Chain A
Amino acid sequence: MIQETHVHDQQVRPLSTTQAGDCVRVVGIDAGRGLNSRLAAMGLVASTELRVVSNGHPGPFVLIVKDAKVVLGRGVAQKIMVR
């Protein structure tokens, strides 16, 4: 995994731990090939910027990805590593 700590001093963490209003960047996605390709098609690839609209606790996650609003289940949000 590529480590570029100089961009932000925040550490790499799963998307599921972010809060509403956070703006984060995708570092890597730790999922199977099917989910990975689906997420890529929705615009979720490494280095994509995301804005967290709501962290549903314990419900699904709402994000803004490339100008579109996308919902993810918590299981999926745990597999996306962001910074």
Chain B
Amino acid sequence: MKRIRVALAGNPNSGKSSVFNMLTGAHQHVGNYPGVTVEKKEGVCTYDGYQIEIIDLPGTYSLTAYSTEELIARDYVLDETPDVVVDVVDASNLERNLYLATQLIEMNVPLVLAFNMSDLAKRRGIEFDLEQLSRLLEARIVPTVGNKAQGREPLLEAIVATVRQAETPRAHRLNYGDEIEEELAKIEAVLVEQNVEWVPRSGLRWVAVKLLEQDDAVTAKAVHPEIRDAVARSVEHLRGIFGDEPEIVMADRRYGFISGACQETIASSVERRHDTSDTIDAVVTNRVLGLPIFLLLMYMVFWLTFTLGEYPMMALEWFFEWAGATVAGFWPAGSDSWVKSLLIDGILGGVGGVVVFLPNILLLFLAIAILEDSGYMARAAFVMDRIMHKIGLHGKSFIPMLIGFGCSVPAIMATRILENRRSRFTTIMVIPLMSCGARLTIYALIIPAFFPHQWRGPVMWLIYLIGIVLAVVCAKVLRLTIFRGETMPFVMELPPYRVPTLKSVLIHMWQRGWLFLKKAGTVILGISIVLWALASFPKPSAEELAELNEQQRHQTILERSIIGRVGHIIEPVIRPLGFDWKVGTALIGATAAKEVFVSQLGIVYAVGSEEGGAEVLRRRLQADYTPLVGFCIMLFCLISAPCVGTVAMTRQETNSWRWATFQFLALTGLAYGITFLVYQIGSLWG
């Protein structure tokens, strides 16, 4: 079977992903573009004896070098030379959408235009003379309705026909007017004269246009002084004529070409009216109502993710417990076989620890897909921007940070809704400071042990507040230091509201779930098994364990293990925080998952996990520590060492171990510093 490679380009909100879903169905694969954190979606379908491979390029409004997405889309088209580029165009907003098409035309690629949402355009009373427009743009045009799967066959037909057709040079090109064309001709002449090796591949005309536009990426490649001089002269000359940068004038001319083409071929019987979207916006982005509506919707997202997600989580936990008991049944009761422990505590426990996140992730991305596909997400950014802007983050950052109160793992994955890399990485770094649900189990143990009834609420509240304040301060500091750079000026489209389709929402949800299992899941499993080994070896001899009851046996095994030994070794380091080796051992164990702190402390104190165990443990803690130490334990657990799941997720989403390590060390250092101050100053008061 012959292969055809197709790249799908288009504006954000043009319904590009619905066309992608329509073409490929479930045969999709999500990954990253090499070296960057921009999502890369690929899919395949077959048609008419061809295997058609489709790459979904990032949604962009143009192909300049000012954003990563645009550069990726452009480089893909130039370097990978797809057989056909399909530009998905919102037919109800043609002029703006064709701007990208003019740039693709200029790159001289075999082009097919998918006039998407053509039903909406028809309802708005827009009529196209597609034949005439197709002649003017020299590209096949196919009307489609992606979310209703209309136009699939004709689009595939057009792709195949474009491939079969012998390559013919374009009959006419976009004319920039005499003054600019003259300068372009001069630059082209110099390029030919210098005989630069990479120019013919990108197209002579295109390189000349980009050089005149002072495009950063192309200019950087054109190192010849002769070329640079020629470009500088032309730019200077045109600045003199137009009193503006050449690229601005050229953008004007492109729109001029588009509006010329549209005037000849489009009849619009109605003016843009006040439509349903405007009515919804009047309420949803209202100055008074906007924020409460946003908070209400966020509450629903949170409820769906964590409250509703608890049932499948409970079922999964129950299943893994049952599986553990079944496996344990193969050994005689009371056996201390390390193989049994590896299978049950290491592998089953590790897999359980991965899968248990899945309901949260699926439900969260269900909610996010609905918010995004319906068009509300852009409004959410609009409503929150004023507040989030102050701490140097994007309006949309609020959503992952809120999810962080439930669990950092889905929260970090949710930062995918942020386009700007600096905003996204800053958000990822501070998410662990939002006190997650697992840490609640630690507070639930410690607070009743050390604080009288009337203080319990305020102490809990204080812990959460400290986390939020630290997150805000850290975000601000990060944006002023390592993630410095101008905040992207706030320019965004508010797409019309649409009813999300079940298919696209489900595909979105499934992709995220699968990505988590495949990427983060394997890392979490690996580290969990390592932590299990560290807590189980080296083993005390059988004689030492013979006289002990079960709790004491667990205690001895943990104390003799590497983690127990390290707990002893670091005691001098954590002494200034008020902690002893017991807390140290539990803290190391807690990197597997925050709630493990409680069970590890139970083992260290040889307290069973049966009914009333927590009360026994609290009494032992009261005997050993002061309320100040209790508070410091909570403070340290709040800030320090994100759990294995968080580390794995940060690694996956930043595409580098460096950032994951940085996050781990920086937060642990911060926790040490703050807890040190609190304990030392608190001790002065006695």
Inter-chain contact A45/B385, CB cutoff 8 Å? no
Inter-chain contact B490/A41, CB cutoff 8 Å? no
Within 8 Å CB of A12, what residues of B?
A: none
Interface size class of B (residues with CB under 8 A): 35 or more
Task: Report which of B61, B95, B386, B495 forms a contact with A38, defined as CB distance below 8 A.
Answer: B61
Which candidate, B248-256, B608-616, B670-678, is the interface stretch facing chain A?
Answer: B248-256
Inter-chain contact A68/B252, CB cutoff 8 Å? no
- Chain B proximity mask over A18-42: 1 for CB below 8 Å, otherwise 0: 0000000000110101111111111
Q: How far is the CB of A11 from chain B (nearest CB, A)?
A: 19
Given contacts A53-B278, A60-B385, A70-B492, contact A33 B93 (CB under 8 A): no
How far is it, in angstroms, between the C-alpha of A66 and the C-alpha of B251 when the chains are bound?
15
Q: Of all chain B residues, which has the CB nearest A69?
A: B494
Inter-chain contact B62/A40, CB cutoff 8 Å? yes
Q: How far is the CB of B390 from chain A (nearest CB, A)?
A: 12
Inter-chain contact A42/B61, CB cutoff 8 Å? yes
Task: Report which of B99, B382, B389, B489 forms a contact with A43, defined as CB distance below 8 A.
Answer: B99
A-B pairs with beta carbons under 8 Å apart, 20 shown: A1-B243, A33-B247, A35-B491, A37-B247, A37-B251, A41-B62, A45-B255, A46-B248, A59-B287, A60-B386, A62-B281, A67-B93, A67-B94, A68-B96, A69-B493, A69-B496, A70-B491, A70-B492, A70-B493, A76-B489
Q: Of all chain B residues, which has the CB nearest A65?
A: B96
**Chain B residues in the interface with A (C-beta under 8 A):** 60-62, 64, 66-67, 92-96, 99-100, 214, 243-245, 247-248, 251-252, 255, 272, 277-278, 281, 285, 287, 378, 382, 385-386, 389, 489-496
Q: How far is the CB of B279 from chain A (nearest CB, A)?
A: 12
Inter-chain contact A71/B492, CB cutoff 8 Å? yes
Q: How far is the CB of B580 from chain A (nearest CB, A)?
A: 53
How far is it, in angstroms, between the C-alpha of A54 and the C-alpha of B282 when the chains are bound?
10
How far is it, in angstroms, between the C-alpha of A37 and the C-alpha of B251 when the chains are bound?
8
Task: Report which of B251, B278, B491 forms a contact with A76, defined as CB distance below 8 A.
Answer: B491
How far is it, in angstroms, between the C-alpha of A31 and the C-alpha of B491 when the chains are bound?
13
Q: Of all chain A residues, which has the CB nearest B103?
A: A41
Inter-chain contact B251/A75, CB cutoff 8 Å? no
List the 10 closest pairs (A to B, CB-CB), nearest first: A73-B490, A41-B62, A41-B61, A40-B251, A69-B494, A43-B96, A66-B96, A67-B93, A34-B66, A66-B95
Inter-chain contact B489/A75, CB cutoff 8 Å? yes
Among A2, A38, A47, residue most surrounded by chain B Cβ atoms (within 10 Å): A38
**Chain A residues in the interface with B (C-beta under 8 A):** 1-2, 28-29, 31, 33-43, 45-48, 53-54, 56, 58-60, 62, 64-73, 75-76
Given contacts A43-B95, A73-B489, contact A62 B272 (CB under 8 A): no
Inter-chain contact B278/A71, CB cutoff 8 Å? no
Inter-chain contact B490/A60, CB cutoff 8 Å? yes
How far is it, in angstroms, between the C-alpha of A63 and the C-alpha of B141 when the chains are bound?
30
How far is it, in angstroms, between the C-alpha of A43 and the C-alpha of B493 when the chains are bound?
11
Supplied contacts A37-B66, A72-B491, 6 more A-B pairs, CB within 8 Å? A33-B247, A38-B491, A62-B281, A71-B378, A71-B493, A73-B491
Inter-chain contact A45/B248, CB cutoff 8 Å? yes
Given contacts A34-B66, A38-B66, A56-B287, contact A67 B248 (CB under 8 A): no
How far is it, in angstroms, between the C-alpha of A34 and the C-alpha of B67 when the chains are bound?
9
Q: Of all chain A residues, which has the CB nearest B70?
A: A41
Within 8 Å CB of B494, what residues of A?
A: 62, 69-71
How far is it, in angstroms, between the C-alpha of A7 and the C-alpha of B378 when the chains are bound?
36
Within 8 Å CB of B378, what residues of A?
A: 71
Q: Of all chain A residues, which has the CB nearest B94?
A: A67
Inter-chain contact A67/B95, CB cutoff 8 Å? yes
Inter-chain contact B248/A42, CB cutoff 8 Å? no
Within 8 Å CB of A69, what residues of B?
A: 277, 281, 493-496
